[in-house]
């Protein structure tokens, strides 16, 4: 990861740094500010709705004006205040709906990875591209979202946490990148490398959790209670493993049932063999 130093120090170079890696594209969603504006818009709409209901009620009680409630054509003598209220409601509703939908979308975006956020914060702390007080928004980690969602499971997070505790390694960046790195506290590991190592660990764990009970049941003589305990323990471990991958409840349930069925079938075959 190389930050183009041709950009002037300040907002231009800060923007270039955030754009240097997809993991660094993170921004505040201003959740409290969104809620504050939405609340005020909601209160304004509530007041407009009450005024419109009062006009409708007044027209319904006056026989000569009741026809206003049955026609959408504004004739001479129609209530101009009602037309103004409807126009104001149309504008406010457009603002309210637009902001509400955008806020819902922002809330659906994931939070940035802890390591990525710390890298950006470390770069800002070392390079100081902004004046004091201009970077206060970075003290609100809980309000940040990643503009590009990156699917990460427990194994990838584990790999990245281990790499960050180790000395700089060859997978971090090339020698040219290391020479051009402005801040040596910023560590960027290529995402494909993290994913590959995470998959290798996941495969090893999956094979282990699948084969260990089979080998235990096949190589040792265990009574029925012991076999039941082994099956229960490994079913629980398998369910936890599935949950770590972010699976929903139904997926974890079906996969665990399938795994349990395989163990039960093998347990039955082992018992039959031992009886023979």
Q: Domain check: are 145 and 17 in the same one?
A: yes
Residue range 86-122, pLDDT digits in tens: 899 999 999 999 999 999 999 999 888 887 888 888 8
Q: Domain check: are 22 and 39 in the same one?
A: no
Q: Domain check: are 50 and 83 in the same one?
A: yes
Q: Domain check: are 22 and 37 in the same one?
A: no
Q: How far apart are CA 61 and CA 68, in angstroms?
A: 12
Mean model confidence pLDDT for the chain: 78
Q: Domain check: are 210 and 75 in the same one?
A: no
Classify burial at 159, counting beta carbons within 10 Å of its beta carbon; exposed 0-12, middle 13-18, buried 19 or more. buried
Tokens read off for 126? 């070392």
Q: How confident is the model at residue 28 (pLDDT cuts 50, 70, 90)?
A: very high
Q: What is the Cα Rg of the chain in Å?
A: 31
Report pTM.
0.64
Q: Domain check: are 115 and 184 in the same one?
A: yes
Q: Domain check: are 94 and 46 in the same one?
A: yes
Q: How far apart are CA 65 and CA 71, in angstroms?
A: 11
Q: Give a yes or no: residue 1 inside a domain.
A: no
| Total tally of structural domains belonging to the chain | 3
Q: Domain check: are 19 and 37 in the same one?
A: no
Q: What pLDDT shows up at residue 4?
A: 63
Instruction: Reply yes or no on whether the pLDDT at 41 is more than 80.
Output: yes
Q: Domain check: are 209 and 265 in the same one?
A: yes
Q: Domain check: are 180 and 66 in the same one?
A: no
Residue range 158-171, pLDDT digits in tens: 777 777 666 554 44
Q: How far apart are CA 148 and CA 151, in angstroms?
A: 10
Q: How confident is the model at residue 176 (pLDDT cuts 50, 70, 90)?
A: very low
Q: What pLDDT shows up at residue 177?
A: 44
Q: How far apart are CA 41 and CA 236, in angstroms?
A: 49
Q: Give a yes or no: residue 194 inside a domain.
A: no
Q: Give a yes or no: residue 19 inside a domain.
A: yes
Instruction: Reply yes or no on whether the pLDDT at 173 is more than 50.
Output: no
Q: How far apart are CA 107 and CA 99, in angstroms?
A: 12
Domain that holds residue 37: 31-108
Q: What pLDDT shows up at residue 92?
A: 95
- Give the closest residue to 216 by CA, choosing from 242, 199, 237, 244: 237
Q: End of a domain among 108, 125, 144? A: 108
Interior/surface letters 3-24, b for 16+ CB within 10 angstroms, e for the rest: beeeeeeeeebbebbbebbebb
């Amino acid at each position: 990861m190389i930050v183009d130093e041709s950009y002037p120090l300040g907002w231009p170079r800060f923007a270039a740094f955030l754009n240097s890696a997809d993991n660094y594209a993170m921004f505040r969603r201003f959740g409290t500010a969104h809620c504050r504006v939405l609340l005020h818009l909601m209160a304004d709409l509530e007041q407009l709705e009450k005024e419109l209901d009062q006009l409708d009620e007044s027209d319904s009680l006056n026989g000569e004006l009741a026809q206003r409630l049955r026609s959408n054509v504004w004739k001479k003598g129609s209530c101009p205040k009602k037309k103004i209220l409807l126009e104001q409601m149309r504008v406010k509703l457009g603002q309210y709906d637009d902001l509400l939908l955008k806020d819902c979308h922002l809330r659906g975006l994931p939070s940035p990875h802890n390591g990525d956020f710390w890298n950006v914060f470390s770069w800002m702390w070392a390079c100081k591209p902004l004046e004091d007080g201009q970077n206060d928004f970075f003290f609100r980690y809980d309000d940040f979202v990643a503009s590009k969602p990156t699917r990460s499971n427990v194994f990838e997070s584990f790999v990245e946490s281990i790499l960050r505790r180790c000395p700089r390694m060859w997978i971090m960046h090339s020698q040219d990148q290391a020479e051009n790195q402005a801040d040596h506290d910023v560590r960027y590991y290529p995402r494909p490398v993290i994913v590959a190592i995470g998959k290798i660990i996941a495969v090893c764990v999956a094979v282990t959790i699948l084969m260990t009970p089979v080998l235990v049941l096949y190589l040792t003589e265990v009574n029925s209670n012991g076999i039941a305990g082994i099956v229960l323990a490994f079913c629980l471990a398998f369910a936890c493993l599935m949950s770590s991958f972010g699976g929903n409840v139904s997926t974890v349930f079906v996969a665990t049932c399938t795994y349990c069925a395989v163990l039960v079938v093998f347990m039955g075959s082992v018992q039959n063999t031992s009886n023979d």
